[in-house]
């Protein structure tokens, strides 16, 4: 698998830092290509089975996750429109969103930064630093079966939602993304509204979507086909 630069980068980033950005993208692509090849060599049967849309042993499948999230949502709000206060009543849906951001981070390698001063850390002044979010979110030292989509990893034994310390889709520290709260809110409202009003399934005879994605400035899904139909009571829209 190869990663391609976006062909419109000069138009999107028309400034004198474009060359540095493209250099960073090239470094990121090499890192991710190497990790992908390592995964192909060491991948487990479970990860391969999930990629084929089939998983034995009673594990969580994509259909199970979608059905559970939809049922939890239906039990929470019924036919009224979604509102922000529903987030606390739908912890599993939040877990599905978190697991999606973990297993396929929008930005596998975060925006580069440069160390401005020398400190006690081994990173010297002038060093360019890139955070490999893909490696952090797929580290087997912190995630059990990291290539398996499992929203339950964000729930404790009592079913309460938890946030593992190594989960940081928006970065961490003083440079964390300032739009995190808004982005999380939009994800919740968008996904919950879709699940409330629509059902999703593969076309007859179609294979599950390829989850590898295409890497440009961000990780983008590959083209796929899906059948979307209104749920009962939502045929006329809202």
**Binding-site annotation: residue ranges for heme:** 177
| Count of Cβ atoms closer than 10 Å to residue 159 Cβ | 9
How far apart CA 53 and CA 167 sit, in angstroms, is 26
Report, in angstroms and rounded to the nearest whole number, the Rg of the chain calculated over CA atoms. Answer: 20
Please name which of 192, 227, 171, 10 lies closest in space to residue 86, comparing C-alpha atoms: 192
Q: Check: CB of residue 149 under 8 Å from CB of residue 99.
A: yes
Instruction: Summarize the annotated binding site as residue ranges.
Output: 177
Taking the CA of residue 195 as centre, how many other CA atoms within 13 Å lie in the half-sphere pointing to its CB? 27
What is the per-residue DSSP string for 61-123? -HHHHHHHHHHHHHHHHTTSPP-GGGGGG-HHHHHHHHHHHHHS-SSSBPPPEE--S--SSS-
Taking the CA of residue 197 as centre, how many other CA atoms within 13 Å lie in the half-sphere pointing to its CB? 14
């Amino acid at each position: 698998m190869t990663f391609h630069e976006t062909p419109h980068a000069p138009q999107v980033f028309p400034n004198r830092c474009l060359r540095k950005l493209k250099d960073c993208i090239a470094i990121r692509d090499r890192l991710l290509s190497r990790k992908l090849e390592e995964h192909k060599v060491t991948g487990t049967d479970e990860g391969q089975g999930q990629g084929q849309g089939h998983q034995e042993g009673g594990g969580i499948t994509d259909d199970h996750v979608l059905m559970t999230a939809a049922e939890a949502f239906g039990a929470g709000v019924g036919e009224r429109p979604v509102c922000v206060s529903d987030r606390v009543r739908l912890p599993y849906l939040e877990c599905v969103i978190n697991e999606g951001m973990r297993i396929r981070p929008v930005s596998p390698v975060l925006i580069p930064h440069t160390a401005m001063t020398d400190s006690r850390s081994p990173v010297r002044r002038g060093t360019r630093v890139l955070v490999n979010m893909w490696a952090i979110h797929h580290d087997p030292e912190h995630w059990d079966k990291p290539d398996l989509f499992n929203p339950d990893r964000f729930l404790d034994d009592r079913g309460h939602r938890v946030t593992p310390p190594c989960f940081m889709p928006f970065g961490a520290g003083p440079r964390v993304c300032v739009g995190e709260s808004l982005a999380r809110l939009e994800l919740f409202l968008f996904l919950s509204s879709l699940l409330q009003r629509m059902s999703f399934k593969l076309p007859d005879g179609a294979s599950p979507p390829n989850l590898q994605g295409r890497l440009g400035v961000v990780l983008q899904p590959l083209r796929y086909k899906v059948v979307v139909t209104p749920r009962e009571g939502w045929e006329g829209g809202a």
